[in-house]
Amino acid sequence: MKLFSVLRPLLEIAALVGALIIGLRLVTGLFRRKSQVYRPGGLRQFQLLFWPLLCLGVGLPFLGSFLYAPTLSTFELTLLVALAAVILGFSVPAFLLHLAYYARNQHTTLVFDPKHNQLEVYEGAIRIPFGKSDLVRVEYVTCKSEQLFWSPYAYVRLHLRSGHVLPITSLLLKLPPLVEFLRSAPLERRQRWFCWL
């Protein structure tokens, strides 16, 4: 129980800081208008990683308690391995997808305003020029199951006449409004168990 006495104050502080950040975010969100510029931001990343982080936060302290046990029976060892497989099996794929999406869209900025018919993609500070007429096809890939921790991860690939392929991931924004905006271009919908880019 020494582990719990050490972790309890840390968890209380983390919960207090999290509540403070969410409260400030709500208050500041009430007084500003919705931005049309999308970058990989902290709130979007937190939304995508909430359940994997919660799974690790609940499961890892329990798994850590087994490390302090002097000896483990076969049943306890089997339970430990099964629980570790479940926790890591749900969380690790989401973290791997998140890292891959972040590496892909880390320097990407998307300006998207469907009311003013505006879609611009920037890689760093460089604008990639294209219009709706330059789109050869739009590829929209989503997860087959909606119950998995990595199911919110999806991506859209814009295939341009110039041969460039612009990946836009769910790390930037929720993709259904973007796909609806691009409905005039030839759209390919695909579903996969794991939406790896």
pTM assigned to the model = 0.72
The answer to whether position 19 is within a domain reads no
The answer to whether position 175 is within a domain reads yes
The answer to whether position 29 is within a domain reads no
- List all residues 6 or more positions away from 190 whose beta carbon is below 8 Å from its beta carbon: 139, 140, 141, 142
Q: What number of CA atoms fall less than 13 Å from residue 45's CA on the CB side?
A: 14
Query: What tokens appear for 146 in the block?
Result: 């909606």
- The greatest distance separating any two alpha carbons of the chain, rounded to the nearest whole angstrom, comes to 68
| Nearest partner of 98 among 174, 175, 169, 193, judged by Cα | 169
Q: How far apart, in whole angstroms, are the C-alpha atoms of residue 115 and residue 14?
A: 40
Residue 159, helix vs strand vs coil: strand
Do β-strands 165-169 and 126-128 pair in parallel, antiparallel, or remain unpaired? Answer: unpaired
pLDDT tens for the chain, residues 1 to 197:
566 676 777 778 888 888 888 887 777 666 655 668 877 878 788 888 788 888 888 777 777 777 777 777 888 778 887 888 888 887 888 888 888 888 888 888 888 888 888 888 888 888 888 887 888 888 988 887 777 667 778 888 889 888 888 888 888 888 888 888 888 888 888 888 777 77
The answer to whether position 187 is within a domain reads yes
The answer to whether position 89 is within a domain reads yes
Residue 166, helix vs strand vs coil: strand
The answer to whether position 21 is within a domain reads no
Residue 168: give the domain boundaries.
1-14+34-197
Q: What number of CA atoms fall less than 13 Å from residue 78's CA on the CB side?
A: 3
The answer to whether position 180 is within a domain reads yes
Q: Are 178 and 154 in contact (CB under 8 A)?
A: no
Q: Are 118 and 36 in contact (CB under 8 A)?
A: yes
The answer to whether position 143 is within a domain reads yes
Query: What tokens appear for 120 in the block?
Result: 């611009």
If one counts the domains in the chain, the total is: 1
Query: Which alpha helices (H) appear in the chain, and where do they start and end?
Result: 2-30, 42-67, 74-105, 176-181
Query: What tokens appear for 171 in the block?
Result: 């790390």
